[in-house]
Amino acid sequence: MSYRQSAYAATQNKLVVTAQTGVFLAVLLAVQVVGLPNLVTGSMVNAIFVFTLHFLGVRSALFLAFLSPFGGILSGHLPAPMYPLLPVIVCGNFVLVWACRVSAGSGLLLRVVVPAALKGVIIGMAGFTVIRVLSLTEQVRWLVLPVLGIQFFTALVGIVAGEKLFQAIVKGRTPS
């Protein structure tokens, strides 16, 4: 294969990955707009991160992890008093994607529980810090605890669902 042909193939591959990332972004936003309960929506969003990570790679998964909180605002899943936590949620999503990438191929505990716990702890600790620094109301402080629990639970379910979906679709196996 000549240099020109290989450069063309690389460009085509990048275009395909970009288009597929766009499709996953559309699915992600659609899931958020449908209006399902937060636990269901959050689990599905995390599953999309994990599936995208395995299917397209870390760059595409991080792109979705960055944009998903904005979809949460547009859909109403992230209430207005929680808007200052948007960067915190982005960081939690990044940590989830990174931890899933690093722990891929490990045992169940390391591959599922650790990334979910890291996301919950990052969002919880950073959330409390943001609230303290911005001197937000007591009502907002109490909103962080349920958010932390929800983030851990939805990450846990999402990681398992994303991996099962990837296995079922890409590897041709049925989920067990």
**Cα separation of 34 and 110, whole Å?**
32
Instruction: Answer whether residue 151 is part of any domain.
Output: yes
**Are residues 128 and 157 in contact, defined by beta-carbon separation less than 8 angstroms?**
no
Structural domain boundaries enclosing 83: 3-169
Residue 156 lies in a domain: yes
**74 within domain boundaries:** yes
- pLDDT bin (cut points 50, 70, 90) of residue 35 is confident
Q: Is 31 part of a structural domain of the chain? A: yes
DSSP structure string for 9-66: HHHHHHHHHHHHHHHHHHHHHHHHHTT--HHHHHHHHHHHHHHHHHHH-HHHHHHHHH
- H/E stretch holding 71 reads helix 58-75
| Per-residue pLDDT tens digits for 106-141 | 888 899 999 999 998 888 887 777 777 777 666 666
**Residue type at 158 in one-letter notation:** G
Residue 175 in any domain: the answer is no
* Verdict on whether the full-model pTM lies above 0.75: yes
Q: How many structural domains comprise the chain?
A: 1
